[in-house]
Amino acid sequence: MDYCLICTKCACVYERDSSIFRCGKCGGILEVSYDYSTLKLPKRFANAKISQKKYVPLFPVSGKLASLGEGGTSLDKAQIKGLDDNGTKLYLKVETGNPTRSFKDRGSSVEITKALEFGYTDIVCASTGNMGLSLATYSKENNMKCTIFMSRNGNREKMERIKRAGGIVIKVDGDFNAATTLAERYAKAKGAFACGDYHYRKEGQKSVAYEIVEQLHYNVPDYIFIQVGNATLIAAMYKALREFRRLKFIRKLPKLVAAQSKECDPLVRAFDSNGKIRHIAPRTIADAIAVGYPTFGNEGLEAVKKTRGAAQSVDDKAIKHYGAVLENELGVLSEPGGAAGFACFMENYACNKKAFEDKEVVVIITGNNEHRKDD
Ligand SMILES: [Zn+2]
């Protein structure tokens, strides 16, 4: 796999063998850049079972993927009263079907593969919970030490799950961004591999978009609603869709809609004011997307603007209500952070049915690690 790393801020280029997690010059976020002409790709990714592994040619890995069977989640048509009459087709991409019940496993498979390739035995990351649980699970499987920095005010149930999965939890005074600063310091001081919302995780998370396109038989939907915390997923999906267009698998891009909680909506505020993203103190019940200053915020904004989508917020009451609709009417269990995109679509639909007439809409249900009934 031929690739290099490019700083998204100052365009500085780094060799593929570098295990750095930010630009050494300006501290900017890096992006994996491929020489697409050298990729050995099938004509289309058809005729094979959908799973994370089949997209290895589009990941920056040299050999076998560290995998626990992530990916290959279902894309189901949702039967909601009134939608069919309007010609609206709504599909739910249910990421709770991943090994640790969130989309984070897709990123973890690539990150852990890279940590193994670079020879690390010690990894560290900042998390609101789901990423920490995912990394602790993948680390244990690969005999690695895993340290997770979490806000002291974070989800206690998730902290306990991380510990049970073998991770070491370090509680931080402050929010997710404060935890990120400390995790990066730990990586430098201890020589640990910094996992989290960086370039390798973003690559692994691209597969959500690849799968949606493949499951819709290469017909691109009109809209995809994606909840945004650190904005890595929306940035990854935007990159994946552009790759598929570049490779001529698809011709157009769907409109990407970023959904946030009104109680933590820095991306929406920047979109509405056409200004810069500014840190705000997160207060939402949707802890999985409680990020006051998203690392991939600028990439997320670019994704919604370039696809002529939008960034919109919904209040916590609506997130709770539509989470219950998902569970009771559609049989899909989701935590609040995993249901925000669905709530955002349903509120939009209630206000403007006409906009969704004869449209195909995909909503991603990103995770469920709260109130699990199995333990
Ligand atoms: Zn830079």
CATH number at residue 286: 3.40.50.1100
Q: How far is the CA of 276 from the centre of ligand 1 (A)?
A: 18
Q: How far is the CA of 28 from the centre of ligand 1 (A)?
A: 5
Q: What angle do CA 142, 146, 148 make, to 5 degrees?
A: 145
Over residues 102-115, the mean pLDDT reads 97
Q: How far is the CA of 15 from the centre of ligand 1 (A)?
A: 14
Range from 26-40, 90-104, 274-288 that averages highest in pLDDT: 90-104
Q: How far is the CA of 22 from the centre of ligand 1 (A)?
A: 8
Q: Is residue 94 part of a domain?
A: yes
pLDDT at 193: 97
For residue 45, CA distances in Å to 42, 71, 108, 217, 359 come to 6, 14, 22, 10, 25
By the 8 A CB rule, do 151 and 178 touch?
yes
pLDDT > 70? residue 373: no
Q: Is residue 57 part of a domain?
A: no
Give the Cα separation of 23 and 6 in Å (integer): 8
Q: How far is the CA of 6 from the centre of ligand 1 (A)?
A: 8
Q: How far is the CA of 66 from the centre of ligand 1 (A)?
A: 29
Ramachandran area for residue 341 (φ above 0: left; ψ -120 to 50: alpha; else beta) = alpha
Residues 6 or more apart from 159 whose CB is under 8 A from it? Answer: 129, 150, 169, 171
Over residues 291-320, the mean pLDDT reads 96
Looking up tokens 């505020």 gives 269
360 and 270 housed in the same domain: yes
Q: How far is the CA of 236 from the centre of ligand 1 (A)?
A: 19
Q: Is residue 45 part of a domain?
A: no
Q: Is residue 138 part of a domain?
A: yes
Q: How far is the CA of 224 from the centre of ligand 1 (A)?
A: 31
Q: Is residue 61 part of a domain?
A: no
280 and 139 housed in the same domain: no
pLDDT digits (tens, 9 = 90+) for 217-260: 999 999 999 999 999 999 999 999 999 999 999 999 999 999 99
354 and 227 housed in the same domain: yes
Say what the pTM is: 0.95
361 strand-pairing partners? 90, 223
Q: How far is the CA of 299 from the centre of ligand 1 (A)?
A: 15
357 and 213 housed in the same domain: yes
Residues 6 or more apart from 132 whose CB is under 8 A from it? Answer: 125, 148, 150, 158, 162, 167, 169
91 and 123 housed in the same domain: no
Task: Count up the domains in the chain and report the number.
Answer: 3
170 and 119 housed in the same domain: yes
269 and 210 housed in the same domain: yes
Give the Cα separation of 68 and 327 in Å (integer): 26
Give the Cα separation of 70 and 19 in Å (integer): 24
Over residues 69-81, the mean pLDDT reads 95
Q: How far is the CA of 14 from the centre of ligand 1 (A)?
A: 10
126 strand-pairing partners? 149
β pairing state of 193-194 and 122-126: parallel
Give the Cα separation of 253 and 195 in Å (integer): 29
176 and 294 housed in the same domain: no
Over residues 25-46, the mean pLDDT reads 87
Q: Is residue 375 part of a domain?
A: no
Q: How far is the CA of 223 from the centre of ligand 1 (A)?
A: 33
End-of-domain residue from the set 199, 226, 258? 199
Give the Cα separation of 71 and 58 in Å (integer): 14
End-of-domain residue from the set 199, 228, 260? 199
End-of-domain residue from the set 180, 199, 218? 199
Q: How far is the CA of 198 from the centre of ligand 1 (A)?
A: 14
Q: How far is the CA of 8 from the centre of ligand 1 (A)?
A: 7
Q: How far is the CA of 11 from the centre of ligand 1 (A)?
A: 6
- Residue 33: give the domain boundaries: 1-40
pLDDT at 375: 46
Q: Is residue 47 part of a domain?
A: no
Q: How far is the CA of 342 from the centre of ligand 1 (A)?
A: 36
Rounded to the nearest integer, the mean pLDDT of the chain is 94
149 and 297 housed in the same domain: no
By the 8 A CB rule, do 288 and 334 touch?
no
301 and 222 housed in the same domain: yes
Give the Cα separation of 41 and 179 in Å (integer): 39
Q: Is residue 55 part of a domain?
A: no
User: In this structure, which long-range contacts are made by residues 281-284, counting pairs with CB atoms below 8 Å and at least 24 apart in sequence?
Assistant: 281/175, 282/175, 282/176, 284/316, 284/319, 284/336
pLDDT > 60? residue 374: no
291 and 357 housed in the same domain: yes
Q: How far is the CA of 184 from the centre of ligand 1 (A)?
A: 16
Question: Between 370 and 156, where is the model more confident?
Answer: 156
286 and 213 housed in the same domain: yes
β pairing state of 3-7 and 310-314: unpaired
DSSP H stretches of helix in the chain: 104-117, 130-141, 156-164, 176-190, 199-205, 207-215, 232-246, 266-273, 297-306, 316-330, 336-351
